[in-house]
Structure 1
Amino acid sequence: MDLVLWHCNNGIHVRSLDGSPDFYCLCPPEYYGDRCQFQRKRLIFTLQVQMEGAFENLPLTFKIAVLLVRGSIPSTIISHDQFVYLPHHYCLPKYDTQLLYLINESSLSLSSSSINHSVHIHLYNGQTLEHHAWWYFPVPFEYLPVNRMAKRVIVTTFPVASEFSQKKFHNTNCTSCSNNAVCLGYDIDLDQDICVCSSNFTGRRCLIPFEVCTAESCNGHGKCVPSDAHFRLDDQFMCLCDKEWMGSSCEFQAPVINVTFGASGSITSLELAIIQFISIEEDYDNGSNVYGELLPIKEKPSNLTLSLYNLALNTEQTQINVKCMCCLF
């Protein structure tokens, strides 16, 4: 048995059902050869996304395309990967991928050591497929067979104008992508167009409808947002709950604290209240969790009550600090 496993090194040993002594090796992407005995040159890339600006103005989903580009003339995409980013659900998410170099370097007119490579990151609005931002990072230490890069990018609230043009990349006429997609270029290793799908479609060519949200998805207390068809069924959508509700499907009422101001001439002249609440944990070694919320004061009654909803509220172990400001943001 051990000898059979050794036949394919880092792959899976497969034999024919007809009793033939021949076998085949199914190799993982980073290995190749008839027995998966060769390791492909690759770049292990880690991307972290940080938002900047007001979340209420952000799209519900972003599509991220990561490209490994060979700096020949014309520039050529030799590997790529795609991710779905949900800014209202994830804070500082990290994405890991392997970007593979070509197996047959001899197919290029120049040797790989004399050509520089770079990583291009493109961000699209998941609903409209509007191009939102673009980043470019040269790959250092080209001589390493297994290289690593880690980058953090900052996404602004509104799209950033750039000089990006799809004509920079070697591609075909991009006829395979559907009308529900943006064709970003041509991956010469996979021999296929790179199609970036809108949120409601999936598949290599974005031809398959992805309609995972139903009327019952968020129990009528939030907005259902499709995420990624590659996830397990329960994670293929997320719920943006109304402020009075919480839970993965908005199935629970959120705790509420009502902060009331007594009759005061100074209170009625204010435009904005900053409410800070501190959750005191039983395990004091971990410290306290501090949260805050800005609430506009729209009316000027003699007694003012502001309702504060938050998933982390615990009315038995929460200390409330209230500050008021006279400025209007």
Structure 2
Amino acid sequence: MVKMKEKKCLCPPNYFGARCQWQSQRISLTVQLKWQSIASTTVIFQVIIMLIDEHGRITLNHEQITYMPTHDCSTKFNVYLLYPDRPKSLSNNYSIRIDLYEKTKLNYWARYSGTYCNITHKCNCANDSFCLDSPICICSLHKFGRYCHLTHSICQSSNNPCQHNEVCVPTDDCISLKAFTCFCPEDYSGQLCQNKNNRIDVRLDETIISITSLLLLHFITIFEDAEYERITILKRVPFNQNILTIIVR
């Protein structure tokens, strides 16, 4: 006669107990980031949201978000951070820390932490990643995984799906391993930067240039069966030039 072994429940992070009957106490927050810049630049950030204990140490639970201002400006990210103790210790105070790193220029650093910088740690992060703390590795643009040793199959130089060899950014690995976003220059638009945009060159009077170097441009699109659409952009007049180039998408 075969004796059945005891069954055990595998709980998701937000539950615990022999039958996952207890809910872990946690902090839930919604993060929306706004990036404002006159220059049209391609910038990608890695956002690290951490739970900090009363001694200033980073707890094991944290969340990372890949943030692209031109793509995620209106996106709200919902995250939660679990307390390290179950149930939460009422005598401990916690805070939230949010760090932003420019994702395309990460360097590996050996670091110290703690109130008196007396805590050292070893990092197993890949050499082209950034070691924030022992459990936290910030991956470079085309790497992912806990220690950034895995490489995205999409967006490699040999199979860049973006036309004109433009910047290809893999979607956050928590969402998809195959999705991507193309960063198009002003001259092109579309999902793969496949559309050539219209270009208008405006010659400015010297009097206008002497007064201001910034201009507000208003574009009005009229539709037959819908209300008109108005878009306003801010353009800087190039130094020592009297021609302003406008790209119409």
**1:183 maps to which residue?**
131
1:51 to 35, 57, 68: 35
Distance 1:116 1:299, change over 3 A: closer
* C-alpha contact (below 8 Å) 1:55/1:88 kept by paired residues: no
Identity within the alignment, %: 26
Q: 1:294 aligns with which of 235, 238, 241?
A: 235
TM-score relative to the length of structure 2: 0.77
Work out whether 1:238 is the aligned partner of 2:176. Answer: no
Q: Residue in 2 aligned with 1:322? A: none
Distance 1:44 1:87 in 2: 23
In 1, Cα distance between the equivalents of 2:36 and 2:128?
28
Report if the CA contact (8 A) 2:170-2:177 is conserved: no
Helix, strand or coil at the partner of 2:90:
helix
SS at 2:28's partner residue?
A: strand
Matched-pair contact (CA < 8 Å) for 2:47–2:100: yes
Whether the 8 Å contact between 1:76 and 1:170 is mirrored in structure 2 is: no
Structure 1 residue 294, shift from structure 2 partner: 1.8
Q: How far apart, CA to CA, are the structure 1 residues paired with 2:177 and 2:50?
A: 28
Structure-1 separation of matches of 2:39 and 2:74? 13
Cα deviations by residue, 1:22-80 (Å, 9 ceiling, x for unpaired): 533232211111111111111111111112334545x6211111111121x46351421
**Is 2:163 the counterpart of 1:219?**
yes
Structure 2 residue aligned with 1:118: 95
Q: Distance in 2 between matches of 1:97 and 1:196?
A: 18
Q: How far apart, CA to CA, are the structure 2 residues paired with 1:170 and 1:46?
A: 33
Aligned to 2:22: 38
| Distance across 2 between alignment mates of 1:210 and 1:234 | 8
TM-score by length of 1: 0.60
The answer to whether 1:252 aligns with 2:195 is yes
Q: Could you tell me whether the CA contact under 8 Å between 1:78 and 1:102 is conserved in 2?
A: yes
Over alpha carbons, which structure has the higher Rg?
Answer: 1
- Structure 2 unaligned residues grouped into runs of 5+: none
Shift of 1:130: 6.6
Shift of 1:216: 4.4
Q: Cα gap change, 1:91/1:122 in structure 2, threshold over 3 Å: closer, same or farther?
A: same
Separation of aligned partners in 2, 1:216 and 1:180: 20
Aligned-partner SS, 1:127:
helix
Q: Distance in 1 between matches of 2:119 and 2:143?
A: 23
Name the structure 2 match of 1:102: 84
- Counterpart position of 2:247: 309
> Which is richer in strand?
1
Cα distance, 1:270–1:222 mapped onto 2, change above 3 Å: farther
